[in-house]
Amino acid sequence: MSSGCCSDDQDDGDEDSDSSIHSAIHNDSEAPSSLYSKCINGSNRHNPLIKISREEADLCNAFTKCIRHDSGYNGFYLQPMHKCSSSTHISVLPFELLLRIIRWAIGSHLNIRVLGVLSCVCRGFYLLANDNSIWRDICFKLWPVWLTYNNNNIGCNNQLSYLSSMNYTSWREMAIYRPQVLYHGCYLCRVTYVRTGEPEIGSSYKPVFKVVYYRGIRFHVSSNQISMFTAPSNPSSIVAVLSKSHQSLSSSMDVSLVGNNNNNNSNSEAVMKTAVSGTLLKGTYEWYDHDSIVCTLHQFPDKQNRPSIRRRQHLGPVIPQLTVTFTIKFKIGNKRGCLHNQLLWDSYVIHTFDKSSAGESTTVLELTNQHFPPCRFVRVRNFIPDVTASPL
């Protein structure tokens, strides 16, 4: 099936304040919405979001009128540039089938950038990419629990009143401008501080160490999973570990691979341990407010460093059996005209439970900009698979 529609090339503006992160990974800190519009400085007298929404609505209406009044379209959204008798053109497909193809292109992993690329092809694809049903399903995928609860209370027939109550004019506007976590990359930050070392005997100068390590956070579309890895390695190694952790999560949730779950998980854990030495936390996240999330992470014990059964029997109750839970609250912010590309630390609580003595302890960390700087979003191309298992 051929497609002879006009297309425009589009370049991604890659920018990052950290040169090491920029050089190690292809950084595209723009959100999926940057293919449509950018966030303008809020100091303007008029709300820029309302202005952009009106311009996009006018453009959709103009394209719809052109297609309806142009006799060359014959009621179809697409029109071939050249007559081709050897193959069937994509323009002969009905509207519903074209939407089905687009849903498969977006996939269950929410490759929303596809809609931006389609909207740059021609007027017909622009209207298909702005279909209200597609953006509504995207919103329910981004905020499943929150939207399902509110939509059941309001009713499906009052969608316009529901969107207006949330200060949005369409589902597409909500999917673009409402605070959200991004899935086509990870959030990275570099922590740097100076630590005083132990003075040597007879030394007149005290040794000083400059400690540098990186922290990476990745969100997963399925089941609100989150992975956070901290290590004194370069950003490319952090991204590699986060990619392996996602593969282990995907294999453990796949029913068809139940028999190979142990092998896959052991192999992925071995790769992560041999490649980078650091701390990997896994858990879930949920929405706390319209612009903040709460993450509950757990640190799994290292089976390789665990003493043998004879050694544990000899030591007795000396070795504590600790269960550590990390509860972190993030706020989603915008940086340098890009949407949802920054995570701000709001609170950090560590809860420790000793199974042997049934003792509990809670530690609230003091969040300083030196040890907990904002995490900037970095786009990673291989985080979005080329093939999806299910449509949107």
Sign for the CA dihedral angle at 239, 240, 244, 245 comes to negative
121 in a domain, yes or no? yes
In the chain, % of residues over pLDDT 90: 21
Instruction: Measure the CA–CA gap between 34 and 224, rounded to whole angstroms.
Output: 24
Check whether residue 146 and residue 167 sit in a common domain: yes
pLDDT of residue 273: 45
State the pLDDT confidence band at 70, using cuts at 50, 70 and 90: low
Residue 293's pLDDT is: 94
Residues 237 and 272: their CA atoms lie apart, in Å, by: 9
Which of 140, 157, 177 is at the close of a domain?
A: 177
Residue 60: its H or E element: helix 48-69
Token readout for 311 is: 């050694």
Please check whether residues 271 and 312 belong to one and the same domain.
Answer: yes
Do residues 259 and 157 both lie within one domain?
no
d(CA 122, CA 6): 6
213 in Cβ contact with 62 (< 8 Å): no
Residue 342 pLDDT level (bands cut at 50, 70, 90): very high
Instruction: Check pLDDT > 80 for residue 304.
Output: no
Structure tokens, 291: 């612009």
Confidence of residue 50 (pLDDT cuts 50, 70, 90): very low
Q: Quick one: 214 and 362 in the same domain?
A: yes
Are 199 and 266 members of one domain?
yes
Query: Are 132 and 248 in the same domain?
Result: no
| Pair (93, 203) in one structural domain | no
| 333 and 372 both lie in a single domain | yes
DSSP string, 80-103: -SS--SSS-BGGGS-HHHHHHHHH
* 253 within a domain of the structure (yes/no): yes
153-167, 224-238, 324-338, 364-378: segment of lowest average pLDDT: 153-167
pLDDT at residue 124, as a whole number: 81
- Top pLDDT among 286 and 316 is at 286
Which of the 8 DSSP states describes residue 40? Answer: P
> Does residue 220 sit in the same domain as residue 140?
no
Task: State residue 299 phi and psi, 5-degree precision.
Answer: -105, 120
What's the pLDDT at 78? 73
Domain range holding 146?
A: 32-177
DSSP state, residue 21: H
| Sequence-ordered list of residues with C-beta below 8 angstroms from that of 375, at least 6 positions apart, any chain | 187, 188, 189, 215, 217, 342, 343
Q: What is the pTM of this model?
A: 0.73
Residue 18 belongs to some domain of the structure: no
In angstroms, the CA 76 to CA 123 distance is 11
- Domain identity same for 138 and 259: no
Residue 255 has pLDDT above 50, yes or no: no
26 within some domain: no
Q: What is the pLDDT of residue 316?
A: 55
The pLDDT tens digits for 87-136 are 777 777 888 898 999 999 998 888 888 898 888 888 888 888 888 889 98
Last residue of a domain, one of 177, 203, 225: 177
Model confidence at 312, pLDDT cuts 50, 70, 90, reads low
**What is the number of residues in the chain?**
392
pLDDT band at 166 (very low <50, low <70, confident <90, very high): confident
**Mean pLDDT score, 212-239:** 89
Within a domain: 19? no
In a domain, 236, yes or no: yes
Binning pLDDT at 50, 70 and 90, where does residue 226 land? very high
- Kindly list the distances between the CA atom of residue 112 and the CA atoms of 216, 217, 234, 332, in Å, as whole numbers in the listed order: 22, 20, 29, 19
* Residue where one domain finishes, among candidates 177, 209, 239: 177
Looking at the 3D structure of the chain, how many domains does it have?
2
User: Are 165 and 190 part of one and the same domain?
Assistant: no
Radius of gyration of the chain (CA): 25
pLDDT mean over 318-335 = 85
Q: How would DSSP label each residue in 278-312?
A: SEEEEEEEEEEETTEEEEEEEEPP-SSSSPPHHHH
Let me know if residue 276 belongs to a domain.
Answer: yes
Residue 253: pLDDT band with limits 50, 70, 90: very low
Same domain, 58 and 207: no
Average pLDDT, the chain: 73
Does position 303 have pLDDT exceeding 90, yes or no? no
The strand pairing partners of 190, in sequence order, are 214
Summarize the confidence of residues 162-172 as an average pLDDT: 82
pLDDT at 365 over 80: yes
Is the residue at 49 inside a domain? yes
User: What is the pLDDT, as a whole number, of residue 21?
Assistant: 61
